[in-house]
Structure 1
Amino acid sequence: MPDSERARILIVEDDPLIGFDLAVELEAHGFAIVGVAPTVARALALFQDHGCDIAILDVNLGRETSAPIARMLAAAQVPFVAVTGYSIDQCPREFAAAPLLSKPFQTARLVAELRRQMPRV
């Protein structure tokens, strides 16, 4: 499938190995990867430069959370799926309405959730 027809995904994940693995797995499932961002600043820059159709947000990015990215995506009406090792009640309020997958998760479950959240064209 040409890149222009594939859903563009922004991955926000602070663990480089997890981010790389997610990118490889999702490309194998037909998604186009905008980039893998380990920080809020990098994610905001990638979104500003390239946009995305949907995002995957690791809630906890070490010393920061991805809440600013969730707010930006919500304002732009871009859906996202949150992934975390924490429970929903430990997540910032920006994630209350988002689908939440607990780490570790199966890639098939993530792919199914991404497809459910994708805007219908």
Structure 2
Amino acid sequence: MLFASRPSCIKRLLIIEDDPLVAFDNERTLKHGGYDVVATVDSGEAAVGILAGEQLDAIVLDLQLAGHMSGRDVARLARDRGIAVLLVTGSCPDDAGDIALACLNKPHSASALLGAVHAIETMLCKNKPARKVSGLQTYWQPKAA
């Protein structure tokens, strides 16, 4: 499913997911949606290397990761580098708005994942609130004009 009028400020994504089947599905969905998935990794430690060495527009991040580094640490690092954060997790934490632009609950459909990334694009590229997406919570505030 491609979005015909998709804003173009989000192109390069990093997927950080420790469940190999979910990671594969997310990567396939996003590639078919027209996004450039730079890498798919299963740990915070692996994500740090990609964050340091690649130009990224957004990360799709599960909070439960392999390794010792938490998903929250990865989210903060990405946010501090100006990279949009979409949490994709079993239960959106109460403090998700402090570390991410949006949180998509698992399980989710392919169209919900694409809709969530599109929502982030709408918020960042157009400075507008996003359309409702099933299972998505957004934490966006408009930029002052």
> Which bin holds the TM-score, normalised by the shorter protein?
0.7 to 0.9
Tell me the residue number matched to 1:56: 60
Once the two structures are superposed, residues 75-116 of structure 1 have per-residue CA deviations (whole angstroms, 9 ceiling, x without a partner) of 112111101112423xxx4x2343111110112112112122
Instruction: Output the CA distance in 2 between the equivalents of 1:33 and 1:87.
Output: 23
Q: Structure 1: 5+ residue runs without aligned partners?
A: none
SS at match of 1:60: coil
| Pairwise CA distance, 1:67 | 1.0
Give the fraction of aligned pairs with identical amino acids, expressed as a percent.
Answer: 26
Instruction: Give the structure 1 partner of residue 141 of structure 2.
Output: none
Distance, in Å, in 1 between the alignment partners of 2:75 and 2:21 is: 22
Q: Distance in 1 between matches of 2:63 and 2:30?
A: 19
- Structure-2-length-normalised TM-score: 0.69
Matches within 5 A, 1:1-121: 7-62=11-66, 64-89=69-94, 93=95, 95-97=96-98, 98=100, 99-118=102-121, 119-120=124-125
How many equivalent pairs are there? 113
Aligned match of 2:5: none
By how many angstroms is 1:20 displaced? Answer: 1.4
Tell me the C-alpha RMSD between the 2 structures.
2.0
Residues 83, 103 of structure 1: 8 Å contact kept: yes
Deviation above 4 Å: which 4+ runs of structure 1? Answer: none
Give unmatched runs, 5+ long, in structure 2.
1-8, 127-145
Name the structure where helix makes up a greater proportion of residues. 1
Length-normalised TM-score, structure 1: 0.82
CA change 1:87–1:79 in 2 (3 A) is closer
The structure number with the bigger radius of gyration is 2
